Amino acid sequence: MKKADYIKLSGYLFGIVGLIHLGRVFLGWPLILGGFLIPAWASFLAGLILWYLAYASMKLK
């Protein structure tokens, strides 16, 4: 796989996972890991970071 294709694929994956995290916040989906409820603000922060990573990887080309 070429480096440019790998970076683009990484950007798409970051974007999809970020969208899922932000969807969890706005749609009220619970996230329980090991019996602990993850707060919505953590998913919001993760979603923003992942969207930034997606944007940055798309700009690298």
pLDDT tens string, the chain, 61 residues long: the values are 899 899 999 999 999 999 999 999 999 999 999 999 999 999 999 999 999 999 999 998 6
Quote the pTM value: 0.84
Determine which helix (DSSP H) or strand (DSSP E) holds 37, and give its type and residue range: strand 36-37
pLDDT at 10: 95
pLDDT at 51: 96
Q: To which residue do tokens 């995290």 refer? A: 21
Chain-centroid distance of CA 17 in Å reads 4
In a 13 Å sphere around the CA of 34, the CA atoms on its Cβ side amount to: 0
- CA end-to-end distance (rounded Å), the chain: 14
pLDDT at 1: 85
Q: Any idea where the domains of the chain sit in the sequence?
A: 3-60
